[in-house]
């Protein structure tokens, strides 16, 4: 494909994701606001601000002592692409205005590089950075992703596809599959589907807070209803596309599908999923070690993946670093920061999964001649 110079510059900027369902996010943590422009949403989807707000509320700050105390309504405004309650097929522009910036908290970090942050790498790349709350590298950037993901998830629901995402572990605390209860996810501040593990995780986080420290964890996502045949071989495999989407989330440092790294220690006889014959029904498997994807293409089983999230790098403990001149300095980071980002990142992972699955499903409409005939017959 031949692209104009302007298109090449936009792609290099790295704020665009997707092909058929395409999003471009914008905004900074302490700017006027953040948002997203969505291109490729089909016309006719019933959509209102509340549909999007439900998702944004799940990542909103200030909802518990385990989240940043920054208070933001994160109220979404639909600027275009919706008329009389339905999508028009034209670009959808969404905006969330910042209302609680305290940029003075970050004035001193302009002169040094915070450990674990993108301060140094932004300077290395651009020669300049917005140091207010991390600017474009702030987790607040994910607002646009979540807003777009809410729309993608609603479209997927129209096709019978659902996504369940939750905290699998925080620090050393992991959920017990025997105690799995999806209704618990929204009932505790750590988004765990296990009430007992949720209490243990909160106790652990209280210790982290008392020690001016932070924690990471693992997020698990289960996507059901995706038909067999979604995803492209070679470079645009479904698992590769999901990996790119999830790794694009700032705090994510690891990703696995199905048994993931555990498959490396298994034997083929243990790892292979046997197919089970079915009468008048789609093929099924006896197990799902592959996580619902074979050869980069969905096999009709639930798609299961996990994302490892690092501890919040902004901690109040004394840390050693250097300033812009390379001189050693000791710092104590001030500001309003999450002792753990995992619970608020759950919906971000869910949003990126929804965007990825929807984009690949739209692309799949041209995979078979029969598909085109059904559309235009």
Structure tokens of 21?
């369902």
Element containing residue 353 per DSSP (H, E): helix 342-363
In this prediction, residue 14 carries a pLDDT of: 85
Tens of pLDDT, residues 248-299: 999 999 999 999 999 999 999 999 999 998 888 788 999 999 999 999 999 9
Greater confidence (100 vs 354) lies with: 354
DSSP string, 200-235: HHHHHHHHHHHTT--B-EEEEEEEE-PPTT-S-SGG
b (16+ CB within 10 A) / e for 89-120:
eeebbbbbbbeebeeebbeebeebbbbbbbbb
b (16+ CB within 10 A) / e for 121-136:
ebeeeeeebbbbbbbb
- Choose which CATH entry (3.40.190.10, 3.40.50.300, 3.40.50.620, 3.60.150.10) describes domain 16-376: 3.60.150.10
pTM: 0.92
Tens of pLDDT, residues 335-345: 667 889 999 99
pLDDT of residue 132 exceeding 80, the answer is no
Tens of pLDDT, residues 291-328: 999 999 999 999 999 999 999 988 888 889 998 888 99
Average pLDDT for residues 22-44, to the nearest whole number? 94
Q: Three-state SS for 253?
A: strand
Average pLDDT for residues 197-202, to the nearest whole number? 97
């Amino acid at each position: 494909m031949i692209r104009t110079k302007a298109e090449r510059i936009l792609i290099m900027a790295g704020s665009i994701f997707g092909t058929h369902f395409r999003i471009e996010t914008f905004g900074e943590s302490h700017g006027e606001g953040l948002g997203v422009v969505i291109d490729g949403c089909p016309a006719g989807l019933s959509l209102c601000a509340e549909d999007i707000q439900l998702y944004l509320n799940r990542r909103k700050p200030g909802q518990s002592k385990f989240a940043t105390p920054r208070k933001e309504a994160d109220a979404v405004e639909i600027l275009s692409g919706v008329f009389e309650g339905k999508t028009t097929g034209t670009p959808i522009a969404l905006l969330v205005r910042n209302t609680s910036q305290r940029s003075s908290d970050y004035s001193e970090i302009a002169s040094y590089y915070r450990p674990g942050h993108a301060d140094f790498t932004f300077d290395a790349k651009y020669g300049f950075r917005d140091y207010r709350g991390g600017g474009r590298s702030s987790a607040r950037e994910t607002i646009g992703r979540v807003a777009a993901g809410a729309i993608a998830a609603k479209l997927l629901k129209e096709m019978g596809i659902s996504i369940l995402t939750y905290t699998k572990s925080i620090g050393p605390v992991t959920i017990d599959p025997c105690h799995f209860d999806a209704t618990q996810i929204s009932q505790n501040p750590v988004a765990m589907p296990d009430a007992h593990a949720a209490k243990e995780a909160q106790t652990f986080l209280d210790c982290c807070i008392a020690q001016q420290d932070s924690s990471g964890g693992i997020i698990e996502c289960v996507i059901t209803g995706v038909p067999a045949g979604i995803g492209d071989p070679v470079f645009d495999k479904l698992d590769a596309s999901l990996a790119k989407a999830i790794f694009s989330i700032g705090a994510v440092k690891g990703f696995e599908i199905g048994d993931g790294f555990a498959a490396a220690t298994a034997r083929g006889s243990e790892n292979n999923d046997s197919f089970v014959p079915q009468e008048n029904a789609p093929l099924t498997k006896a197990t799902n070690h592959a996580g619902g994807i074979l050869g980069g293409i969905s096999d009709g089983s639930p798609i299961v993946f996990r994302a490892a999230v690092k501890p919040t790098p902004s901690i109040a403990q004394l840390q050693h670093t250097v300033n812009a001149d390379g001189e050693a300095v000791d710092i104590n980071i001030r500001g309003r920061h999450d002792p753990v980002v995992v619970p608020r990142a759950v919906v971000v992972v869910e949003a990126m999964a929804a965007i990825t699955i929807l984009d690949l499903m739209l692309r799949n409409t041209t995979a078979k001649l029969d598909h085109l005939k059904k559309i235009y017959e």
